[in-house]
Amino acid sequence: MQSKYQQKLKREESVRIKKEAEEAKMQKMKAIQREKSNKLEEKKRLQENLRREAFREHQQYKTAEFLSRLDAELPDRSTRQIALRVPQSSAWARSQAYKDSLKEEENKKLQKKKEEQHQKSELLEFNRQQQEEERTKTHQAEHRRVNNIFLDRLQGKSQPGGFEHVGGHWNMNSGNSWDV
């Protein structure tokens, strides 16, 4: 009886382990797909920002070129040179500021991912501990149940008026027997 029960427990345990492994595999695959999707979105966003920045710089260049043609009509040459330098220097400053902001944003995202990963690992560890505790409680409860059944049977055999197994039949061991 106990060996059947132990075999049943082993089967249930192996099925549970397989299910957990499959679930972990699915979660891992989902996480990979999510990460790929996030990277693709980030790449698209960065490309769009770069395209916009290139367009903005091109537009500023064309504007500066147009202004320089207009300034050719101005009598003072130093005014023309100032007009040409300002858009270039501000474009460079904006480009540097944009690159710095990208680096800062990337660092923030990396820090956020690290924190999320840490939280996930803590949550997984907590879930694993709870599952282990639940499994232990279930296992102990089943042991108690089996032991109680066994003890009840032992007690029933040893007490007068209890059940006895005689010749393959369970009989009441009492003084009031109908058998003559």
Task: Quickly list H helices, the chain.
Answer: 2-71, 77-158
**Residue 6 corresponds to which tokens in the numbers above?**
């132990």
Q: DSSP letter at 176?
A: -
CA distance 65 to 88: 11
Q: Express as a percent the part of the chain with pLDDT over 90.
A: 41
Mean per-residue pLDDT over the chain, rounded: 81
CA distance 87 to 62: 10
**Residue 81 corresponds to which tokens in the numbers above?**
């040179």
Q: For residue range 46-57, list pLDDT tens digits in order.
A: 999 999 999 999
pLDDT band at 68 (very low <50, low <70, confident <90, very high): confident
pLDDT band at 121 (very low <50, low <70, confident <90, very high): confident
* Top-confidence residue, 94 or 113: 113
Q: Give the long-range contacts of residues 136-139, CB within 8 A, separation 24 or more.
A: 139/9
* Top-confidence residue, 90 or 33: 33
pLDDT at 180 over 50: no
Instruction: Return the top range by mean pLDDT from 91-105, 111-125, 133-147, 155-169.
Output: 133-147
- Region 142-159: what's the mean pLDDT? 88
Task: Say what the pLDDT of residue 69 is.
Answer: 83
Using alpha carbons, list the distances in angstroms from residue 118 to 21, 31, 59, 153. 21, 14, 45, 52
| Beta strands, E only, the chain | 163-166, 169-172
Reported pTM: 0.31
Q: Which value, to the nearest 10 degrees, does the dihedral of the CA atoms of residues 146, 149, 153, 155 take? A: 110
CA distance 172 to 160: 9
Residue-by-residue DSSP string for 3-29: HHHHHHHHHHHHHHHHHHHHHHHHHHH
Task: Say what the pLDDT of residue 23 is.
Answer: 96
pLDDT at 172 over 50: no
pLDDT at 116 over 80: yes
